[in-house]
Every structure is written in structure tokens, then in C-alpha cells.
Structure 1
Amino acid sequence: MLRRALLATAIATPAVAQAPWAPARPIRLIAPYPPGGGVDTTSRLLSVPMGAFLGQPVVVENRGGAGGSIGAGELARSAPDGQTIMIDAMAHTVNQYLIRGLAFDYATAFAPVSQVVVLPQILAVNPRHCPAKTVQEFVAWARPRAASLSYGSSGNATAAHLAAALFLNRAGLEMTHVPYRGGTPALQDLLGGNIAFVFGTVSSTLQLVRDGQLVALGVSTAQRIAPLPDVPTIAEQGFDGFELNEWNGLYASAGTPAPIVQRLYEAARHALADATVRQRLDTLGALPIGTDPAVFARYLAEQRALMQRLVHDARIEVG
């Protein structure tokens, strides 16, 4: 009888050990920026289907300020139990080179779960002021007049600024950077002929391109994007390996057990497969990605190395 009981226990134990993690209470999903922005939108889109998958509500909590570092610090101080998670933007890989006195290390304080979406950028010019139709034509046009040209971005150290800085660095050009409070004012000044180019998001720039008010010279992704299939990537036009997009990633706190990280990743993948979520992401010009934790961790390491060089070479600072 005892042998049978021990055998039954031995057979049952692996099944119990392999049972997927389930949260004990509602999950806090920190969006480390104010309501209404890209990270907030992504967080709210994914929260409902993730909650349905995990069996507990996923509640978005906006903790904005200091370029996302206040909300990130909240996660860094949280218990590694999967009950508090965060969706952050590409500032996650650049803040450590811009913000002094951080109480945590972005490279070690978090457990990468998944890169959830990528938001491509469009290199755009005003055809009334610049005759270029390709990236190479723009470089040839800009080179003799670069000292008098400026470019705009949605703000200092944003994806638009970093993409432009990388592009100018690779092209061997120097121009004055004009940071705006958002992408819309930058596009307005581009339409007014006050700046030479911008890197704009698909959602803000695409219709202006389709209307002929702006010309899309290239896109910042590794492959062409569906809304502009005839516009080549910047990498295709003599800038091998060029890729710098805005993106959002999902994180737990460092030390979170691998089975919990895996379950959170599965929940994110489930959410990204939802038809309503994909339709909404499409209208925002966002590409669902859903990389696994190991792939995302490698991507973060590559991005940190790129951001460190770029911040140094372009002398980027925040006030």
C-alpha cells in the first residue's frame, strides 16, 4: 500500500510542479508616463486580454515623470513576484546615460519579458523647400548648406531625436536640433519650411505624405512597412544596418522566477494575437512583435550599447 502511495505521489508531483503560475490578486501594470501617450495606449490595449489570460485583472497605473524613471523606480522597488509589471518605451535604454543620480540600474533592475510593439518612423521633408526624393539626394542637397539647416524632433532624447542624430552621424552632417513639445508642432514647422526634416511616427506623418504635403525619403525599420510599401528603408539607401524606432517593452522586477516571466510573456503574446488589439495597433502605425524574454534581453543589450555611443557622439543632454 505504501509503495502504491509513493508511486502515486511520484507520478503526481511533476504535474503539480509544471502547473502554470497564476497571480494571487490583480496585477499592477505601471505605465511610467502620463495618460494619453503611446505607452499608456499600449498598456491599456494589452491589459484586458492579458488579464483574461491570467485570470486576474491587469490594472494600469500611470506613474509619469523624469522621462519615465519615476515609474521605472517603482517597479525596481517591487517584489519579484509578477504582481507588479511595467510597459516602458525606448527611454528604458537611454535614460541611464542621460539622468544622473538614479537609484537603480536600468540594466540590472528588471527582468525583460517581451518587446511588445515597434513604432516605425518616417524620415520626411517638405517638397516645397527640399527637392530630394531619396535619402542620398537629401544628403547631397543638405551637405553644402548644413550649417544653416536645422531639424526638428518631438523632444530632446526622444526616438525622433535619436533617430535623426544617428542619421546625421552616419551621413557625416551636422545640423542644429530644434526640440518641440511633441511631434505635431515639429511637423507644423516642417510644413512651414522652418526646419529641414523630421523623423515622424506613422500615425502623425502618413496622411501628410499621402496628401503630398510631405515626402517620405525612407523608413527607420529594418524592412519596409505595409502603409508605404514603395518607400525604401534608410538601410537600403546606403546606410547599412540603420534601424532606430520607438518601441514598447514589458518588464517584471529583477529576480522574478522564470516560470512567472514565461507566463507573463504568454499573456502578452495572447493579447497581441487579439483581433481588436491588432486592429487598434494598425491604426496607430504600431507593429505587434512579442519577442520572447531571451530575445528581448539580447535586444536590450544591443540597444544600450548603441544609445551609449549615440548620446556621447551626438552630445545629447537633458535639462
Structure 2
Amino acid sequence: MTFTIHRRSLTALLASLAFCGITTAAHAADKDKPLRVVLPVGAGSGVDTIMRAAVPSLTKALDGQAVVIENLPGAGGITGASVIVRAPADGQTIGVVSNNHVVNPSVFKKMPFDAINDITPITVVGATPFVLVVNPSKVPAKNAKELQALLKAKPDGYNYASSGNGTILHLAGAMFMDAAGVDVRHVPYKGVGPMVADIMGGQVEMGVVAVPAVQGQLKSGALKAIGVMGKSRVASLPDVPTMAEQGFPGVDIAGWFAVVGPAKLPPAEVKRLYTAVVAAFSTPETKEAMAKQDNIINPMTPEASLAFFKTEQERYARLVKKANVTAE
């Protein structure tokens, strides 16, 4: 999965929409009521930070309609997603989901909704890059090949952490271990914070994290970046090569985020919301905020987003099966 910024294509898209007379205020369900944006994650998380940065621009793009963020974390995103799928299909309630939305059907035996058929994809907005980090005092490796050699030499000598069993960070770690041909013990944590703290403390040796979550620790030297997990280098880590550059072309994973609505959202509402989100993420203010977080913004059309959801669900199903991941 590769996300790249195509400014010309985005500009052309916006221009064509404007030419056709499509405005973000058109077909508004009820502009006097706020747009409810449900996030299946906690306050202060990556997706939460991203959306709150975009709210002022989104409000303008919606011709002044207020935007209210509602955090509903729990059960790997299932709690919040359940609210999104049950909301009226009137364009007044949308949600922002990430990889876990399409991972969960392969991890949990029973789901309260269908991850594809019970939503209306509006746009996959972009992605946050992941990086494999190690505790430099515990892991002397300087790159992915050296790390692979260490893990093969001492298969029981190292552990890798994640933010929870079956989460995207768990699968990202499993993806590298599989590509490297090593079997390393997985240690799940309840969240990114405790996970990063224990890697720094040496209780576990390594883990995959979103770049914005560890920018400070990488700069101070408390953690060492082994490789970026996507196919493109990260602006804030220009000297850190990708895993593909280091001989692991199959390692391609990032934390994408997408705007969705409940199933059967009217086409007029899909168009209105899609256009507003694209406009909001192309303002100078939002672009600057995204750049500081190393987020890659490249909105997909609703049709492309639906295809992407299906492909990602199939891809993670294979990875979950290969890594033998089950819900705790």
C-alpha cells in the first residue's frame, strides 16, 4: 500500500468539481444541526489529532455547518463503528475509521455488523507512516538486515511489542517478522503509550509505531529507527530507509484513515461530504498540520475507497491467518 501526494491531480479535481457547479453546501441535510463525526478511538490518538486539526477547514467547506467530534473508543474500534453503522443515513453522522475496521472481521469470530456492507465509504483520506523501532541499548542492529541476523541468531532472545492483540501495529510487526523469516515472541499492550514506554525501558526490545508517536524519542536517541514500513521515506526521518530499500519489498503497511457514513447514504450526501473533506484537507492550514505529523494526504474517490476497503480486508485476512492472530 503506497500513498503519495499528487498536488496537480488534487487541484484538477477541485477545479473540475467547481466547474460543474458542485459546492460543499449543496444538498446539505440540515445546516442548522452540527455534523456529528464519530471517532472509534480515544482523544489524543493519531486519528483524533488529525481530524481536530481539520475541523476549522471542514466547517468552512460545509458553508459554516458546525462539526462536532465524538470519541467512542473500545473493542478495537468496534464500539464506535457500531454507532456509525446504526446512524440514520441522512448525512448528519459520519465516522472516521482506520485499518482495524477491516482487520477486525478476521480477528473476532462474531461481529455486530458487516465492515463493508454496513457502511458507505466517502473517502480514504490518507495515511500515517509506520516505523520499526528498537531500544538501542538492547538491540545493536543498525538496519533491517542486521536486525534479521540478530533475530535468527537468538530466536528466543528478543520480543516485539504492539498496542494490542490483533491491532494493526501487531500485524505490522508480524509482517516484518514473516518477511525476515524469523519467529519472535509478540507482547501485546493496552495502547501505544505503555508499549513505547516499555520499549524505552527495555522490558521489550522493539515494535512498530506510527512516526508521529515517537518523533521526540527518535530525535533524543531513546529509540532507534530501523526502517520505514511503507515504500516511501518520511520527511522527518530522511536518513531512515524503507524496508523495501533494505531488501524486504513485501513490507508495505501504513495507518490509513477514511471517512465513512452508514449504509445507503444518498449519493447527493456522499458527493457533498466527499467534496467538503477534500477541500478541508487541501487548505494551507490543514496541509501544514498534516506535514508536521508526517501524514500523507491523497483522498480517494468514494468508488476507489470501496475497492480499497475490500482489497485491504482480504489482505489482512491472509496476514491474520498466517500470523495465527486470535481475539483474546
TM bucket normalised to smaller: 0.7 to 0.9
Deviations 1:14-47 (A, max 9, x none): 989xx93223232211112233322322332233
Answer with 1 or 2: which has the greater Rg: 1
Deviations 1:172-224 (A, max 9, x none): 21111111223233233223333231112212322322333332111012211
Instruction: Determine which structure has greater relative contact order: mean sequence separation of CA pairs < 8 Å that are 6+ residues apart, divided by chain length.
Output: 2
**Structure 1 unmatched runs, 5+:** 1-13
Identity of aligned residues (%): 34
Q: Secondary structure at the match of 2:245?
A: helix
- Measure, in 1, the Cα distance between the counterparts of 2:50 and 2:294: 12
Post-superposition offset of 1:168:
0.8
The answer (yes or no) to whether the contact 2:129–2:254 under 8 Å persists in 1 is yes
Match of 2:231 among 222, 245, 258: 222
Matched, 1:98 2:126: no
Post-superposition offset of 1:233:
0.8
- Measure, in 2, the Cα distance between the counterparts of 1:151 and 1:211: 21
The answer (yes or no) to whether the contact 2:151–2:157 under 8 Å persists in 1 is no
Deviations 1:94-147 (A, max 9, x none): 111223332310011111111223111111123322222211111012102112
**Structure 2 unmatched runs, 5+:** 1-19
Matched, 1:161 2:170: yes
Count residues with an aligned counterpart. 304
Q: Secondary structure at the match of 1:94?
A: helix
Aligned to 1:304: 313
Deviations 1:218-276 (A, max 9, x none): 10122111111121111222221421111211001221222321221111111111222
Aligned to 2:28: 22
Match of 2:299 among 281, 290, 301: 290
CA 1:57–1:49: 2 relative to 1, 3 Å: same
Query: How do residues 259-274 of structure 1 correspond to structure 2 at under 5 angstroms?
Result: 259-274=268-283
Matched, 1:42 2:42: no
The answer (yes or no) to whether the contact 1:27–1:83 under 8 Å persists in 2 is yes
Amino acid of the residue matched to residue 27 of structure 1? L
Match of 1:250 among 247, 256, 259: 259
So what's the TM-score if we normalise by structure 1? Answer: 0.87
- Measure, in 2, the Cα distance between the counterparts of 1:116 and 1:64: 20
Over the aligned positions, Cα root-mean-square deviation in angstroms equals 2.2
The answer (yes or no) to whether the contact 2:118–2:263 under 8 Å persists in 1 is yes
Aligned to 1:71: 80
Post-superposition offset of 1:70:
2.1
Q: Secondary structure at the match of 2:273?
A: helix
So what's the TM-score if we normalise by structure 2? Answer: 0.85
The answer (yes or no) to whether the contact 1:220–1:243 under 8 Å persists in 2 is yes
Q: Secondary structure at the match of 2:154?
A: helix
The answer (yes or no) to whether the contact 2:129–2:295 under 8 Å persists in 1 is yes
Amino acid of the residue matched to residue 255 of structure 2? E
Q: Secondary structure at the match of 2:155?
A: helix
